Amino acid sequence: MGRSAKFDSGQILDAALEIVAERGPAAATMAAIAAWMGAPVGSIYHRFATRDLLLAELWIRGIGRFQQGLIEALEADDAESVVLHTVRWCRENPAEAAVLLLYRKEDLAAQWPEELGDRLAGLNAAAQAAFTAFARRRDAEPDWNRLVFALIDVPLGAVRRHITDRNPPPPWVDDLVLTASKAVLLGAECQPGHADLPQ
């Protein structure tokens, strides 16, 4: 019977996450990740054949974790939770927030592994479908630009400077994001049934 692996994929991704969040993608070499964990480099290569594969998996894991809560809020038809999801998630997951907000996926993996393309597309498609369904429940012909700006762009803009400074968004951000998002949505020429934040 073979020995169980001392370091699993999740632990390796966690180590890579801390390095990328603190020092940037270039610092996350296989040797640096191994050293961070106190593991032999061979243990890393046993789980991930290449650095690009490891960091691409890190990106997909982060996107998946972020989108899970967003999709749940969209499917629950809870506009306030949709608006505040980004702020709350960044507050609770500062390292992953730094990786996703401060870098592009190409910054992590110079050659994006082809085998992961479908997984990333699937994640994005699921989030897009949930957002589209959420919007159409409010308006048969949504103002997409206004909705995306209010529900996505406003929260992202509000957290970016805090994440750039490696600080969690402070509590007062929540109220301002809600106020700004409501102002954007209610600034439209709303007819009955048009998008706004529910009571």
Amino acid identity for residue 172 in this structure: W
Cα separation, 7 vs 34, in Å, equals: 10
Cα separation, 140 vs 135, in Å, equals: 8
Average pLDDT over residues 171-196: 76
Cα separation, 153 vs 29, in Å, equals: 32
Take residue 1 and report the two structure tokens written for it. 């019977």
Model confidence, pTM: 0.87
Specify whether the CB–CB gap between 100 and 65 falls below 8 A. Answer: no
pLDDT of residue 117: 83
**Alpha-helix runs per DSSP H in 6-143:** 9-23, 30-37, 41-47, 51-75, 79-92, 94-102, 105-108, 117-138
Look at the chain and count its residues: 199
Q: Is the pLDDT of residue 194 over 80?
A: no
Domains, the chain:
9-186 (1.10.357.10)
pLDDT in tens, 112-157: 888 888 888 898 999 999 999 999 998 889 999 999 999 999 999 9
pLDDT in tens, 13-61: 999 999 999 999 999 999 999 999 999 999 999 999 999 999 999 999 9
Q: Is the pLDDT of residue 195 over 60?
A: no
Specify whether the CB–CB gap between 172 and 161 falls below 8 A. Answer: no
pLDDT of residue 138: 86
Give residue for tokens 């507050």. 91
CA distances from 192 to 78, 138, 195 (A): 18, 10, 9
Cα separation, 67 vs 19, in Å, equals: 23
pLDDT of residue 7: 85
pLDDT in tens, 71-121: 999 999 999 999 999 999 999 999 999 999 999 999 998 888 888 888 888
Q: How confident is the model at residue 197 (pLDDT cuts 50, 70, 90)?
A: very low
CA 4 to chain centre: 32
pLDDT of residue 191: 43
Q: How confident is the model at residue 5 (pLDDT cuts 50, 70, 90)?
A: low
Higher pLDDT among residues 7 and 89, named by residue: 89
pLDDT of residue 110: 85
Cα separation, 65 vs 62, in Å, equals: 5
Q: Is the pLDDT of residue 4 over 70?
A: no
